[in-house]
Amino acid sequence: MRLYIDEDGGTYRWRLLRRTASGADVIARAARDYPDKDGCRAAVATLAEAEPVGDAVALSVRCTPDGHWWWMLTAADGTPVAQSPAVFRDPRSCRDKFVECVAEIRRAGLGRPVLAR
């Protein structure tokens, strides 16, 4: 898994990609813009700390009009943090992939806190 941070007009967005045999899949991405790269890294750290049971109020599973499911993680204050692509066939597989995503971020060490400079 790799973290990519993209700049566009002075704001930043992040995405997490996992390599596949045919290329790469986005497994999570920013749900909003950030003022700097450290804000992006802090958002990934927040995602890495998410617990599927304890923080369940911060996780929502949603359905698109065409029947695809995606998850959204919000901070305690309601600010959007992260979301998945809308690629899941049902709410259970969507929630399961959220749990896998968090575990993979932790294994990759991408959830380490951002240190102030």
Q: Bridge-partner residues for 60, per DSSP? A: 72
How distant, in Å, are the alpha carbons of 7, 10, 24, 36 from that of 90? 33, 37, 22, 35
- CATH number of 2-108: 3.30.460.80, 2.30.29.80, 3.40.50.300, 3.40.50.80? 2.30.29.80
Alpha helices by DSSP H, 20-117: 37-49, 91-108
d(CA 12, CA 34): 5
pTM of the entire predicted model: 0.84
**Residue 57 pLDDT:** 47
**Residue 26 pLDDT:** 94
Residue type, 51: E
Q: Can you tell me which residue has the tokens 């973290």?
A: 3
Least Cα distance to 40 among 84, 85, 82 occurs for 82
Tens-digit pLDDT profile for residues 13-55? 999 999 889 988 999 999 999 999 999 999 998 888 887 555 4
Tens-digit pLDDT profile for residues 65-115? 999 999 999 887 888 999 999 999 999 999 999 999 999 999 988 876 554
